[in-house]
């Protein structure tokens, strides 16, 4: 960036950070918690790099007070965390375990005492294993179980928490969990992907209804999506059509029913050889289209696609992990490309313009619906210096570019109300185990020592001023 003056954010802009239960909590077998699909997946040989698991992770279950002190020291105004379904409803059915709910009650109370708004995500990919054993998200009953779970948590935390998210990135749950198999539960069944997507959508709709029944009227309820900023490699008709197909599979399969009450006709036509979509029952799409108070947007990197080219190895460079099975149902022929230029440790291209594009897209698609960036961040190979400091200038540059992109969307009229940086802590990065560090706080996984990186100190200054200064 070359601007010489700071970019000033709205005075009421909400500055936060985010985590997810399985990635940080640990205490996998304590206080009644039972296995989730990620416990099972991570304990299955060959599924997670180096055999890593979330059994201990960042030990946040025991160190939450220390972590709240850390947040307060970084000037965080909000903290987005997810609830472990297995911790509060171990079988995915029946009454809640109060010991599990007590953890989240204490966490929310501790945040409020320090002036930090708790923002709850009900589902960040950790389905109770018993529900997966009964069929998982491809089964309609799972959507009903999710609504029951949402009601239990809403009843327990509704007096403390005003900001709610039903699902985090349902695309990953459906397409990576049941398509490519690189996420739990590790299934590779194309038709199950579409069934799962619908039942995640339905679970969201039923979950919103359940929350509305038990939460105060001023509670804010939403969903978080990870829409792709899909771009064709060239402007050829074939590449533009590849863009359309991927846009349907990652974006409009969610925004269609959630925002407009219907699945896109081209999505159903594109996938007709995989499914007849008979799992969509009368009234489902109306149930999915619940009034929302805001929409959460997660963004990391753009997606560049093309039609298949003769002689190509058709390598799937989509950034979602290596697998012999494609998550792209009925679009296995589409090629994915990395943009030239710098990349993060994940191999993801660094391009903040995708952030602005997505925020403007949803601003135009759903006028009047406030937006929050609920995740944005980058993994880099951070190591402490001899004096224990962690210098991460690449992350600061990444965050600076993307916050400038958020500011650009606001200047163009988008109603963006806040930004949650991913992530507060280095953590268990799913199938990559502990090999990728997204945190603005370094975690020594042997000692659990927390060390704020330079990026954390930089972010704290941005929050304190409400301004994005020029990069040095």
CA distance 18 to 362: 22
Q: Largest Cα–Cα distance of the chain, in whole Å?
A: 63
- pLDDT category of residue 2 using cuts at 50, 70 and 90: very low
Whether the link from the prior residue into 94 is cis, omega within 30° of 0, is no
Give the per-residue pLDDT at 316. Answer: 75
**From the candidates 132, 285, 375, 429, which is the catalytic residue?**
375
Report, as an integer, the average pLDDT of 109-126: 98
DSSP β-bridge partners for residue 304: 231, 337
Q: What is the number of other CB atoms lying within 10 angstroms of the CB of residue 209?
A: 15
CA distance 54 to 43: 9
pLDDT tens-digit series, residues 398-447: 999 999 999 999 999 999 999 999 999 999 999 999 999 999 999 999 99
- pLDDT category of residue 315 using cuts at 50, 70 and 90: low
Q: Mean pLDDT score of the chain, rounded to an integer?
A: 97
Give the per-residue pLDDT at 313. Answer: 61
Dig out the tokens for 134 from the structure. 């009964």
Asked whether 181 and 189 are in contact (CB, 8 A), the reply is no
pLDDT at 333 over 60: yes
Find, among 314, 338, 340, 339, the residue nearest to 328 by Cα. Answer: 314
3-state SS class at 420: strand
The question of whether 169 is a catalytic residue gets the answer: yes
**From the candidates 139, 169, 285, 345, which is the catalytic residue?**
169
The continuous run of DSSP H or E covering 419 comes out as strand 416-422
Of all residues in the chain, what percent carry a pLDDT higher than 70? 98
CA distances from 342 to 197, 232, 346, 376, 378 (A): 33, 20, 11, 17, 12
- pLDDT category of residue 310 using cuts at 50, 70 and 90: confident
pLDDT at 339 over 90: no
- pLDDT category of residue 103 using cuts at 50, 70 and 90: very high
**Based on the number of CB atoms within 10 Å of its own CB, is 368 exposed (0-12), middle (13-18) or buried (19 or more)?**
exposed
The question of whether 375 is a catalytic residue gets the answer: yes
Whether the link from the prior residue into 468 is cis, omega within 30° of 0, is no
């Amino acid at each position: 960036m070359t601007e010489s003056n700071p970019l000033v954010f709205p005075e009421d802009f909400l500055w936060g950070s985010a985590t997810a239960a399985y990635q940080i909590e640990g205490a996998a077998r304590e206080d009644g918690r039972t296995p989730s699909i990620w416990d099972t997946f991570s304990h299955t040989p060959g599924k997670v790099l180096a055999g890593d698991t979330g059994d201990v992770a960042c030990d946040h279950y025991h160190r939450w007070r220390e972590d709240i002190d850390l947040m307060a020291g970084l000037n965080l105004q909000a903290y987005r965390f997810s609830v472990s379904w297995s911790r509060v409803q171990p079988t995915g059915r029946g009454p809640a375990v109060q010991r599990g709910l007590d953890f989240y009650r204490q966490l929310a109370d501790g945040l409020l005492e320090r002036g930090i708004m708790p923002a709850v995500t009900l589902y960040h990919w950790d389905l109770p294993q018993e529900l997966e054993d009964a069929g998982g998200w491809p089964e309609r009953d799972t959507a009903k179980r999710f609504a029951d779970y949402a009601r239990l948590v809403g009843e327990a935390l509704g007096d403390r928490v005003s900001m709610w998210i039903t699902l985090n990135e349902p695309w990953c749950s459906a397409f990576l969990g049941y398509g490519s198999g690189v996420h739990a539960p590790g299934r590779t069944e194309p038709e199950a992907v579409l069934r799962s997507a619908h039942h995640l959508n339905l679970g969201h709709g039923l979950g919103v209804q359940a929350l509305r029944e038990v939460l105060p009227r001023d509670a804010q309820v939403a969903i978080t999506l990870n829409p792709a900023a899909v771009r064709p490699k060239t402007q050829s008709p074939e590449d533009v059509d590849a863009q359309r197909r991927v846009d349907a599979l990652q974006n409009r399969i969610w925004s269609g029913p959630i925002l407009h009450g219907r699945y896109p006709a081209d999505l159903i036509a594109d996938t007709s050889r995989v499914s007849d979509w008979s799992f969509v029952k009368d009234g489902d799409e109306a149930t999915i289209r619940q009034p929302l108070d805001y929409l959460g947007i997660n963004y990391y990197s753009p997606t560049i696609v093309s039609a298949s080219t003769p002689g190509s190895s058709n390598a799937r460079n989509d950034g979602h992990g290596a697998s012999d099975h494609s998550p792209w149902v009925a679009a296995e022929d589409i090629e994915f490309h990395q943009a030239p230029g710098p990349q993060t440790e994940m191999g993801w291209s660094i391009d903040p313009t995708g952030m602005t594009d997505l925020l403007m897209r949803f601003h135009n698609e759903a006028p009047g619906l406030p937006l929050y960036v609920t995740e944005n961040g980058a993994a880099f190979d951070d190591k402490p210096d001899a004096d224990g400091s962690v210098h991460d200038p690449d992350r600061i540059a990444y965050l600076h570019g993307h916050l400038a992109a958020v500011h650009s969307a606001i200047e163009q009229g988008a109603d963006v109300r806040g930004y949650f940086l991913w992530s507060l802590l280095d953590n268990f990065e799913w199938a990559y185990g502990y090999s990728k560090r997204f945190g603005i706080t370094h975690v020594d996984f042997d000692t659990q020592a927390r060390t704020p990186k330079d990026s954390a100190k930089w972010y704290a200054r941005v929050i304190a001023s409400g301004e994005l200064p020029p990069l040095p």
